[in-house]
Amino acid sequence: MATQPVNVGARTGSMPSATTPLSAVHPDWRRIAYHLLVSRALDDVEETTNQHKASVPREHLVHYQFSARGHEMSQIILGALLDRPHDAAGAYYRSRPLLLSLGLSIEDALASPLGRTGGFSDGRDIGVVCNLPKRHGAIVLPMSGDVGSQYTPTAGWAQSIQYHRDMLRDEHYAGCIAVALGGDGSVATNGFWAALTIATTLELPMLFYIEDNRLGISVRGDVQTPGGNIAGNLASFGNLFIRDGDGTDPAESARLLDEVVSHVRSGEGPALIHLTVPRLSGHSGADNQRGYRTDEEIARDWKRDPLPRLRAHVVPAFMSEHEWRTLEQEVARDVSTALDGARARATPNPSTVKRFVYAESQQPGDAETVGGLSKAELSALGGTDVALDDGPLIRFADAVRRTIAHELEVNPKVLVFGEDVGVKGGVHLVTEGLQRRFGTQRVFDTSLSEEGIIGRAVGMAVSGLMPVAEIQFRKYADPATEQLNNCGTVRWRTNNQFAAPIVVRMPGGFGKEVGDPWHSLSAEVTWVHGIGWQVLVPSNAADAVGLLRAAMRSLNPSIFFEHRSLLMTSDGSARYPGDEYVLPFGRAKALRQGNAITVVTWGAMVHRCLPAADRFGDRVELFDLRTVAPWDRDSVLASVRKTGRCLIVHEDTLTAGFGAEIAATVAKEAFWWLDAPVERLAVDDVPMPYHEVLLNAVLPDEERIAGAIERTLAQ
């Protein structure tokens, strides 16, 4: 039974005095003081970038500087408590003190803001967008530059702890926790509330660590949160253990942090700790605070500086005055040495900037990636691109269900989840019966939050699981855009240190004799433009099997687009190609051979192009792309060079649809072979309408496609 909410803090009068020995925690105060002094020194160095040489002008080498002044101490104490092999933290831009406490080297801590080689990203990302890959010991998940996006991936890691421990029987996960760090402004974001719902409903081993400096850049706390205290507002939340206190008081911070960490480790559910801290700087290096803070307010914050309070706490109780001065000298020496080392590092090599958009063969010096299935696990799963020719005839939805079921059978790390996928079996009944067969730990329903679905999947994938998440309809992915974009770029922006190869099943497109702006959106080009994603758009059951299985065995994240028309009709029926069938990405299929025009299409439009093409006999060469990221440029270009003409047919809107990319490529790469301009036929630039008459007015059909072929041939 989870402990009911409790709100205890500095203002209750229950804390011990600053000189009271801590029987519960016994922290290593010298270690805490060392890291606090280092953190403070790093902020000093970055703000001058010349290491205390006042006569030298500022060098402006750190373009984005976010000070952690005032926030350091309680973070460092928290880091000292994250000592289990699979603890993890989701951080934000003031979290460097935590990383120092968890083992980040001072040189890496400086090299990343300087944009030098190594560090968090090898110069690819802002220096405060941090991560810490560790094979043994607490890691820091790859953070993003947007506020609040750390919460749901951390919830995914917390759920993966339970799965690794209970389903995979890995005892190393016993007692491990996930911690999401955020400021008071972040508690207004979708990510915070989605993660809070996930953690409390599932009683996850997750800690919400909120450090409150009363300002979201310039916005006061009571504008961000009613009453200005998220801990007070959540007092009635079920299954949430709450502590509230002063993050500048060493003894109180240590005691409260020990309480919440111990609570979460005990398996009694999630906890939230709210600690007030001062902001002893502008929001960033470029913010002088003029206009929204008075000199008196800034002075009051400096009176709450945790550094002198820590010094008073540890001297003379835990170290002598001489030992403190020696520690300061040690820090000055270590930071100076690290700064020299960071400066001496090379600038990033521009020839490598295109590496790691996708997984690639390892080269000497490449980082070992954290996330996804191992290459050994993938190799053991096997697979073939040769389809059986005597399989039963099945519909599209049955093919998807059968493929998911087989992968659940052969790979214990596969999990399937989304809104209504469990008991109901999905709104299109694609996952019908899977929960009864494989259990609620592997096939389960989620709360109604696409941010929560995708963010959770990211955290699970980083932990080594294979999440298959469903977004009910393509349009419903919009609230998850931030998480989807971040997932696609995670390998590139961490320089191959992390990856999150998830599969997102996403139905969309027009339905059986019906459309509308909300359930019938196509817009697959959005995710083609989403760097790092594989976008798969099968037109039939056999291709659906091969592409979905390939996605579930891939080192990269994949959008698997399930067309509603194919789910609702028998148009995509095909023979089942077998339980081992894996279809390589970027391999188009020539459905008709021809010599006068190349027609390129994908998805449900294939079934409208086929009868139109058949009217012209061997004059039409028809290609089903099957995947649009990557797409088969070579086959299309070779065909156009043979036929001299090209028509692209797709369901997305004409303006900026993916057909424009194909047309531009053909115009450039096959220009001298063209006998006519490249043509496109697509949906008019309007939302998908509801009534059948209106739907038919904008959607390419057999007659329009045949007309476009005829006009192009006549040129």
Residues labelled as active-site residues: 519
Question: How many C-beta neighbours within 10 Å does residue 595 have?
Answer: 14
Q: Measured between alpha carbons, how far is 541 from 406 in angstroms, rounded to an integer? A: 15
Which whole-number Å values give the CA distances from 647 to 23, 120, 639, 666, 715, in the listed order? 76, 45, 12, 10, 12
Q: Measured between alpha carbons, how far is 380 from 374 in angstroms, rounded to an integer? A: 10
Which whole-number Å values give the CA distances from 296 to 216, 277, 516, 588, in the listed order? 19, 17, 57, 68
Q: Phi/psi of residue 648, each to 5°?
A: -115, 125
Using omega within 30 degrees of 0 as the cis cutoff, is the peptide bond preceding 364 cis? no
User: Which letter does DSSP use for residue 581 in this model?
Assistant: B
Kindly list the strands in the beta sheet with 139-140, ordered across the sheet, starting from the edge strand earlier in the chain.
139-140, 88-90, 178-183, 206-212, 271-276, 241-246
Question: How many C-beta neighbours within 10 Å does residue 378 have?
Answer: 16
Q: Measured between alpha carbons, how far is 542 from 576 in angstroms, rounded to an integer? A: 6
Q: Kindly tell me the sign of the dihedral angle through the C-alpha atoms of 556, 557, 563, 567.
A: positive
Q: Measured between alpha carbons, how far is 48 from 59 in angstroms, rounded to an integer? A: 7
Q: Measured between alpha carbons, how far is 428 from 471 in angstroms, rounded to an integer? A: 12
Under 8 Å CB-to-CB from 64, ≥6 apart: which residues? 113, 126, 127, 128, 284, 285
Of 130, 134, 534, nearest in space to 368 by CA: 134
Q: Is 40 helix (H, G, I), strand (E, B) or coil?
A: helix
DSSP letter for each residue of 485-510: HHHHHHHHHTTTSB----EEEEEES-
Using omega within 30 degrees of 0 as the cis cutoff, is the peptide bond preceding 316 cis? yes
Of 85, 93, 70, 84, nearest in space to 247 by CA: 70
